[in-house]
């Protein structure tokens, strides 16, 4: 398992430029250091053979401590049956990684592990983050709408002296969590260090989703930084 120091080095060697001036918004506030979450502009349409393959992954599924089932096969996107889905995931991943973060194209990002989640009634995904990954993702496949929530674990607003009960309304300046309603076929991408959870499935209909992690390879850093790291 890679240590926190490794990811600090990774952040430093990617050498994102300092933004010296950002625009103040209409309310005369400049909002610093955003954490982007990406939603695919298009909805993926699963065909019959893909859904049959996904359903088949339940046969040897493994149960975790939260009572959730997930596929024993944790490289499902390498399966020929999901070739088109993998292409859809990669296309959106590349937009998010290269266009949103402005990462150099000679640093390659690729999907590592991928698996199917099966949420029965009254099961949920507890708050967690993904280690040994750069960007993580989830695409909802089947089931009732159930929000995915992201948490700002770094927020220490006013030294944590104020709680949500002290604000008249939540907004982007005072909130510590944000949720999005999912839609089957919509892909979410987010930094793997971002804490997230999925609410309890209160429906009798099983909720199915696919998740994947990513990593990078190539040369990070440069001669001037004395922090060159080659990942193959």
pLDDT beyond 70 at 228? yes
Nearest residue to 86 (alpha-carbon basis) of 94, 75, 74, 77: 77
Give the model confidence (pLDDT) of 39-51 as tens digits: 999 999 999 999 9
The CATH topology of domain 4-15+32-154+171-231 is: Jelly Rolls (2.60.120)
Q: With contact defined as beta carbons under 8 Å apart, do 172 and 226 qualify?
A: no
Report the b/e string of 108-142 with b at 16+ CB within 10 A.
ebebebbbbbbbeeebbbeeeebeebbbbbbbbbb
Domain boundaries, the chain: 4-15+32-154+171-231
Q: Give me the pLDDT at residue 116, please.
A: 96
Give the three-state DSSP class for 210. Answer: strand
Query: Quick one: average pLDDT of 74-91?
Result: 98
Q: For the whole model, what pTM was predicted?
A: 0.83
Question: In the beta sheet, which residues pair with residue 148?
Answer: 180, 198
CA-only gyration radius of the chain, Å: 19
């Amino acid at each position: 398992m890679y240590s926190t120091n490794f990811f600090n080095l990774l952040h430093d060697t990617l050498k994102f430029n300092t933004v010296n001036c950002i625009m103040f918004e209409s309310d005369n506030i400049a909002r610093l250091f955003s954490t982007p979450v990406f939603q695919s502009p298009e909805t993926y349409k699963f065909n019959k053979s893909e859904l049959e393959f996904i359903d088949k992954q339940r046969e040897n599924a493994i149960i975790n401590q939260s009572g959730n089932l997930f596929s024993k096969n944790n490289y499902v996107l390498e399966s020929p049956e999901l070739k088109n889905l993998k292409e859809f995931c990669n296309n959106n991943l590349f937009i998010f990684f290269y266009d949103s973060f402005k990462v150099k194209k000679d640093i390659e990002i690729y999907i590592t592990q991928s698996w199917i989640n099966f949420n029965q009634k009254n099961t949920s995904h507890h708050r967690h983050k993904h280690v040994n990954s750069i960007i993580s993702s989830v695409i909802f496949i089947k089931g009732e709408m159930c929000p995915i929530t992201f948490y700002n674990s770094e927020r220490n607003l006013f030294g944590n002296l104020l709680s949500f009960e002290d604000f008249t309304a939540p907004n982007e300046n005072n909130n510590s969590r944000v949720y999005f309603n999912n839609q089957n076929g919509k892909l979410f991408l987010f930094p793997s260090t971002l804490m997230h959870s999925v609410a309890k499935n209160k429906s009798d209909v099983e909720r199915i989703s696919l998740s994947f992690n990513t990593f990078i390879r190539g040369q990070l850093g440069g001669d001037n930084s004395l922090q060159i790291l080659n990942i193959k």
